C-alpha cells in the first residue's frame, strides 16, 4: 500500500511523508496537501465529474468516524476501491485527535463560514486552512459537489444514525440526496432553518455543495453495528460514482426541524436530564431540561419534542442541547 494510504497514522504521529505524491496500482494519484489532508485524482479516463469531500475528526474524541474514514482511505490506496470521483479526504483536527478530546481550545465546528477571521488560536488557523483547501478543491465549475462530514454524537440514540442538513436559502434537500442517505443507513434528517458556522454549512453556503453532517452510530465495546458496514458500502459507491441501487430502504427516513437551542450562559449551567438519556428521546410538555444563573430555566414547551446533543461540557455561549420536533 502506498505510504499516503496510512494518512491517519501519519497525522497522529505528526509526520511529513517522504513522498508527497504517489499512485495506486490502477493509476489514481494520491497527493498529500498538508497535515491530515489528502487529495485523490482518478486514473486517466475515469473521472465522472464528481468532487467529493469526506471529513472526520473535527472533534478529536469521535473515534468511530475517524476509523470509518481511515478504512476508506486505505481501501482506495490498496486499490480495493477504484475512484471515479475526485476526493478531498480530511482529518480535520489533529491536535484534538492526538489527545482524544473534543477540542483543545475552541470548537473547530463553530469556526467556519469566516468565523475564524481575526482569531489567533490553532483552531482558527486550522479552520482557515481547511477552507482554503476546500476552495481550491472546488475550483472547477460545472462539476457535482458533495460533502459528508462524519461525526459521532457520543451517546446512544433511538435513531442510531442521523444527518444534519445545513440551512440554505431557497434550497431543499434533493430526492437523490435523500436516497443516498437512506442507502447509507441514515435513520433521520434534521433540517436546519437558520445559518450556522459548521464545516458542512461552509461547503453548502460558499461552494454550493450537497453537504451533510453525518452522526454515525456508536459502537459498544466489542461490537460493530451493521449500519456502519452499510455506510461503508454506500461510501464505496459514492467514491466509485456508482448509481445508487433503487432498493426499498430498511425503514422510512424521519425528518425533524430545530425548535430551540439550549444555550449555556454561565459556569453555573446544569443539565437536568439523565446522564444516559438517548438522542431523540421524547420530552413531555413541562419537562425541565436545564438551569442557569439568574433563575434561567429551560422547560419543554413544544409538542412531540425530542432532545438532541445534550452536553453540558461546552463553552459558555455554545449550545448544550437541541430541542427538535417532527418536520411538517
pLDDT at 244: 61
Residues 185 and 289 both lie in one domain: no
pLDDT band, residue 154 (cuts 50/70/90):
confident
| Spatial distance between the Cα atoms of 272 and 296, rounded to a whole number of angstroms | 13
Read off the pLDDT of residues 248-276 as tens digits, 9 standing for 90 and up. Answer: 556 689 999 999 999 999 999 999 999 88
Q: Which of 98, 91, 99, 92 lies closest to 70, judged by CA?
A: 91
- Residue 149, SS3 per DSSP: strand
Average pLDDT on 52-67 reads 97
Average pLDDT on 51-66 reads 97
Burial of 193 (0-12, 13-18, 19+ CB in 10 A): exposed
Distance of CA 291 to the CA centre of its chain: 29
Last residue of one domain, picked from the residues 179, 209, 239: 239
Q: Which of 55, 43, 56, 140 lies closest to 85, judged by CA?
A: 43
pLDDT at 247: 55
Which residue is listed with cell 455543495? 209
Instruction: Residue 307: give its domain's CATH number.
Output: 2.40.50.630
Q: Which residues are annotated as a binding site for Zn(2+)?
A: 59, 62, 151
Take residue 20 and report the three cell numbers written for it. 508527497
**Range(s) of the domain holding residue 315:** 259-326
The 8-class DSSP code of residue 157 comes to B
Over the chain, what is the mean pLDDT? 93
Quick check: 221 pLDDT over 80?
no
Instruction: Residue 120: give its domain's CATH number.
Output: 3.40.630.10
Residues 67 and 211 both lie in one domain: yes
Is 21 catalytic? The answer is no
Residues 227 and 266 both lie in one domain: no
Better pLDDT: 220 or 125: 125
pLDDT at 246: 58
**pTM given for the model:** 0.94
Give me the number of domains the chain comprises. 2
The active-site residue out of 106, 123, 131, 215 is 215
Read off the pLDDT of residues 68-114 as tens digits, 9 standing for 90 and up. Answer: 999 999 999 999 999 999 999 999 999 999 999 999 999 999 999 98
Amino acid at each position: 500500500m502506498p505510504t499516503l494510504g496510512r494518512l491517519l497514522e501519519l497525522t497522529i504521529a505528526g509526520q511529513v511523508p517522504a513522498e508527497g505524491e504517489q499512485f495506486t496500482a490502477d493509476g489514481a494519484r494520491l497527493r498529500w496537501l498538508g497535515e491530515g489532508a489528502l487529495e485523490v485524482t482518478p486514473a486517466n479516463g475515469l473521472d465522472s465529474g464528481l468532487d467529493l469531500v469526506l471529513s472526520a475528526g473535527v472533534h478529536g474524541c469521535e473515534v468511530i468516524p475517524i476509523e470509518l474514514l481511515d478504512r476508506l482511505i486505505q481501501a482506495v490506496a490498496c486499490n480495493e476501491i477504484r475512484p471515479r470521483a475526485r476526493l478531498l479526504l480530511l482529518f480535520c483536527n489533529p491536535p484534538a485527535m492526538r489527545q482524544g478530546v473534543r477540542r483543545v481550545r475552541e470548537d473547530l465546528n463553530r469556526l467556519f463560514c469566516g468565523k475564524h477571521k481575526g482569531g489567533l488560536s490553532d483552531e482558527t488557523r486550522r479552520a482557515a486552512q481547511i477552507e482554503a483547501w476546500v476552495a481550491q478543491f472546488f475550483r472547477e465549475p460545472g462539476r457535482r459537489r458533495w460533502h459528508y462530514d462524519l461525526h459521532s454524537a457520543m451517546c446512544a440514540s433511538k435513531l442510531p444514525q442521523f444527518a444534519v442538513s445545513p440551512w440554505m436559502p431557497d434550497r431543499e434537500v434533493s430526492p437523490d440526496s435523500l436516497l443516498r442517505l437512506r442507502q447509507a443507513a441514515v435513520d433521520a434528517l434534521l433540517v436546519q432553518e437558520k445559518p450556522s458556522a459548521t464545516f458542512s454549512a461552509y461547503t453548502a453556503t460558499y461552494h454550493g455543495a450537497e453537504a451533510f453532517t453525518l452522526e454515525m452510530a456508536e459502537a459498544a465495546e466489542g461490537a460493530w453495528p451493521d449500519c456502519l458496514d452499510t455506510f461503508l458500502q454506500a461510501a464505496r459507491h459514492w467514491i466509485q460514482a456508482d448509481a445508487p441501487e433503487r432498493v426499498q430502504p430498511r425503514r422510512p427516513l424521519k425528518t425533524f426541524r430545530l425548535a430551540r437551542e439550549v444555550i449555556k450562559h454561565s459556569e453555573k449551567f446544569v443539565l437536568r436530564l439523565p446522564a444516559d438519556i438517548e438522542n431523540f428521546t421524547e420530552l413531555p410538555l413541562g419537562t425541565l431540561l436545564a438551569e442557569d444563573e439568574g433563575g434561567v430555566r429551560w422547560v419543554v414547551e413544544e409538542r412531540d419534542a425530542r432532545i438532541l446533543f445534550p452536553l453540558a461540557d461546552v463553552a459558555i455561549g455554545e449550545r448544550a442541547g437541541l430541542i427538535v420536533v417532527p418536520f411538517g
